[in-house]
Amino acid sequence: MWMVVIMDVSRRGFLTATAGVAASAVVTQIPQAKAASRKILRARSRQIEVAGKAATRYGLEQDSGVFGLTLDEGDQFDIQLVNELSVDTSIHWHGMEEPWQQDGVPYLSALPITSGGRADYSFPALPTGTRWMHSHFGLQEQNLLAAPLIIRDKVAQAEDAQEVVMFLEDFSWTSPEEIFANLRKPKPEMSMSKESDKKVGPDLNDVEFDAFLANDRTLDDPDVVAVEKGGKIRVRIINASASSNYTLDFGSLEGELIAVDGNPVIPFKASTFPLAIAQRADIMITMPSDGAAVPVLAHCEGRKMRSGIILRPKGAKAAKISTVTETEGPRVALEQEEKLRAARPLTGRKKVRSVPVDLTGSMSSYIWNMGVEGLSGLPVVIRKGKRVELVMVNKTPMSHPMHLHGHSFQVVGINGQRLQGAMRDTVLVPPKTTVTVALDTRNPGLWAFHCHNLYHLAAGMFSTMAYREIPRSSS
Ligand SMILES: [Cu+2]
C-alpha cells in the first residue's frame, strides 16, 4: 500500500499530503494519488485601505496571492487549509455539495482548525457555478475571512466572455464583538434606531456600517477592471456581507441574469437586480460600442450608500462615482424572485414531505430563533431519497436570508403561490412572508440550516437537517 502511494505521487506532494493529514483537525481520507494537485489556501491577516486608513483584517489566499479559488468543471476540490491566524477557525465552502464532514461548521462538521493547524479537503468540485468560502467560526466573517470560490462550467469555459468577479462586503471600524454586544443591549421596542420616529414598515438594517467594499475597495478608490470596448462580460457578483442586502445597478445598460447562487436560470433581462446576503448573481453584459466605461454598482438596502467596481475599456474615462446617494437603496424583496425560472429544475414526481419552519425573534431583546415542526432546537429529521419541502414562515419584522448547507433547493412557493422558481442555496424570506423550497435528500449527513445574517445567526437563528446514508425500510 505504501509502495503504491509513493509510486503514484511526487515526493513533494506525498510529504505535503502526509504532513497535512497528521496535523489536521478535520480527519478526512484523501485519495493519495490526488495529492499532487492539492492547492494550499492560507487563512491569514492582511492589510487593506479603507477611506485612506489602513485596516488589518483576515483573508483567504493561495501562495500566489490569489484571493480565493477558481476551479474548472470536472476538477477535484483538493485543498489544504493552513490556519495562520492567532485564533481558531473553520471555513465553510458555501454552495458546495461536499461530504458533510468537510462542510466547515465548527463542532457540527468537525472540530475547529486550531491556530497554526491545517486541514485537508477533497471532494468533486460540484455543483459548478459561483460559490464562495467564508469562516463559520464566531463573528470572523465580519472581519472579512471570506473569498470567492468559482467552479467554471463547460459553458463558461467555452463562451467568448471575459469573467469579472465582484465581491461585496460590509465594513466597520468597530469590532464585530462590540457590534454584537451593542445589538444585544436591552432596549425598548420603540427606540431601535435613530430614525425610529420616522420609521414605518419593516426593519431593514440593524447595524451601522462605515463602508461597503467591492473587491476590498470603496468607490472612492474603486477596483477598475480593464475590459474591451464592445466586449461581452460575465460579472460574477457575490454578496459576502455579514448583514447587508443590495440592489445591483447597471445604470442605462441592460444585463442578463443567467445564474443565481451559481445555478442557471432562464436568462432574465433587467438593469437592476436584488442581491440578499450570501446570494450570488451571474450577469452577462455587452460593453457599449462607443467605448465608454461601465460602473457596476451595489446600492445598500435602506441606506444612502453604495459600493461598486468600474469596467473600463482602454482610453475610457472613469468618472468618479460618489459612495453617497441621494436616495436610500430600495427594499430587497421577492418581486424578481417570483419571475425567475430554473434552467434545470428538480425533476421527477415524488411524494413530498412538508416541514414547517417558523422564523421568530424580536429586535428589542435581539434573540432570533428557528422552530422546526413547531419546536425550537429540533433538527429537520428526514430520510434519504425523498423530496422535502421546507415551508419557512417569517413571523418577524426583519428579512432573513435562509441558507441550507450541502444542498441546492428550488424555490417552489411564495405566500402559497406555486412556482417553478430558481435553484438556490440561499433564499430571502421577507417579513410576514412564507417561502417554500424543495430539495431532494441525496447528500446524507448533519447539515447546518440557518439565517445568513451573521448577527441573527449568532443570536440563535440556527437549526440543522439530518439524515442517514441507509434509509430505513418503512416510509
Ligand atoms: Cu435573519
pLDDT value for 319: 84
Q: How far is the CA of 390 from the centre of ligand 1 (A)?
A: 16
pLDDT value for 55: 97
C-alpha cell at 52: 485612506
Same domain, residue pair 327 and 222: yes
Lowest mean pLDDT among 179-183, 203-207, 385-389: 203-207
pLDDT value for 36: 59
Lowest mean pLDDT among 144-148, 266-270, 382-386: 382-386
Beta bridge partners of 149: 69, 131
Give domain status of residue 155, yes or no. no
For residues 54-75, average pLDDT: 96
DSSP string, 164-221: EEEEEEEE-SS-HHHHHHHHHS---GGGSSTTTTT--SSB--S---SEEEETTB-TTS
CATH code of the domain in which 431 resides: 2.60.40.420
Domain that holds residue 312: 162-172+207-332
pLDDT value for 50: 96
pLDDT value for 274: 98
Give domain status of residue 179, yes or no. no
Q: How far is the CA of 268 from the centre of ligand 1 (A)?
A: 27
Same domain, residue pair 357 and 298: no
User: Are the CB atoms for 300 and 308 separated by under 8 Å?
Assistant: no
pLDDT value for 203: 78
User: If you ran DSSP here, which 8-state letter would residue 314 be given?
Assistant: T
User: Are the CB atoms for 427 and 389 separated by under 8 Å?
Assistant: no
Beta bridge partners of 445: 467
Q: How far is the CA of 461 from the centre of ligand 1 (A)?
A: 7
C-alpha cell at 18: 502526509
Residue 19 in this model has a pLDDT that exceeds 90: no
Q: How far is the CA of 243 from the centre of ligand 1 (A)?
A: 9
Q: How far is the CA of 87 from the centre of ligand 1 (A)?
A: 26
Give domain status of residue 156, yes or no. no
Same domain, residue pair 326 and 356: no
Q: How far is the CA of 440 from the centre of ligand 1 (A)?
A: 24
> Reduced to 3 states, what is the DSSP secondary structure of residue 367?
strand
Q: How far is the CA of 399 from the centre of ligand 1 (A)?
A: 6
Q: How far does Cα 80 stand from its chain's mean position?
A: 21
For 91, residues 6+ apart whose C-beta sits below 8 A from its C-beta are 41, 43, 60, 81, 104, 113, 133, 134, 135, 136, 145
Residue 12 in this model has a pLDDT that exceeds 60: no
In this prediction, residue 204 has a pLDDT band, given cuts at 50, 70 and 90, of confident
Sign of the alpha-carbon dihedral angle for 49, 50, 55, 58: negative
Give domain status of residue 339, yes or no. no
Distance CA 145, CA 433 (A): 31
pLDDT value for 81: 98
Mean residue pLDDT across the chain = 89
Instruction: Decide which of 332, 362, 382 is a domain's last residue.
Output: 332
Q: How far does Cα 84 stand from its chain's mean position?
A: 23
**pLDDT (tens digit, 9 = 90+) per residue, 274-291?**
999 999 999 999 999 999
C-alpha cell at 275: 442581491
Q: How far is the CA of 368 from the centre of ligand 1 (A)?
A: 7
Q: How many residues does the chain have?
A: 475
Same domain, residue pair 57 and 111: yes
Same domain, residue pair 452 and 401: yes
User: If you ran DSSP here, which 8-state letter would residue 26 be given?
Assistant: S
Instruction: Decide which of 297, 332, 367 is a domain's last residue.
Output: 332
Q: How far is the CA of 296 from the centre of ligand 1 (A)?
A: 27
Sign of the alpha-carbon dihedral angle for 74, 75, 76, 82: negative
Q: How far is the CA of 214 from the centre of ligand 1 (A)?
A: 23
Residue 475 in this model has a pLDDT that exceeds 90: no
**pLDDT (tens digit, 9 = 90+) per residue, 416-445?**
999 999 999 999 999 999 999 999 999 999
Whole-number percent of the chain with pLDDT over 70: 88
Residue 339, phi-psi category: left (phi > 0), alpha (psi -120 to 50), beta (remainder): alpha
Residue 99 in this model has a pLDDT that exceeds 60: yes
Give domain status of residue 394, yes or no. yes
For residues 341-359, average pLDDT: 92
pLDDT value for 195: 42
pLDDT value for 35: 53
Same domain, residue pair 224 and 139: no
Same domain, residue pair 62 and 35: yes
Q: How far is the CA of 401 from the centre of ligand 1 (A)?
A: 6
For residues 359-380, average pLDDT: 89
pLDDT value for 349: 73
Q: How far is the CA of 93 from the centre of ligand 1 (A)?
A: 20
For residues 102-125, average pLDDT: 97
Same domain, residue pair 358 and 308: no
Q: How far is the CA of 85 from the centre of ligand 1 (A)?
A: 28
- For the chain, how many structural domains are there in total? 3
Q: How far is the CA of 451 from the centre of ligand 1 (A)?
A: 5
Same domain, residue pair 311 and 167: yes
pLDDT value for 189: 54
More reliable by pLDDT, 192 or 322: 322
Give domain status of residue 344, yes or no. no
Same domain, residue pair 365 and 322: no
Q: What is the pTM of this model?
A: 0.90
Same domain, residue pair 245 and 269: yes
pLDDT value for 18: 31
For 158, residues 6+ apart whose C-beta sits below 8 A from its C-beta are none
Cα 97–100–102 angle (5° rounding)? 90
User: If you ran DSSP here, which 8-state letter would residue 301 be given?
Assistant: B
Q: How far is the CA of 365 from the centre of ligand 1 (A)?
A: 14
User: Are the CB atoms for 83 and 114 separated by under 8 Å?
Assistant: yes
Give domain status of residue 472, yes or no. no
Same domain, residue pair 359 and 297: no
Q: How far is the CA of 370 from the centre of ligand 1 (A)?
A: 10
Q: How far is the CA of 456 from the centre of ligand 1 (A)?
A: 5
> Reduced to 3 states, what is the DSSP secondary structure of residue 304?
coil
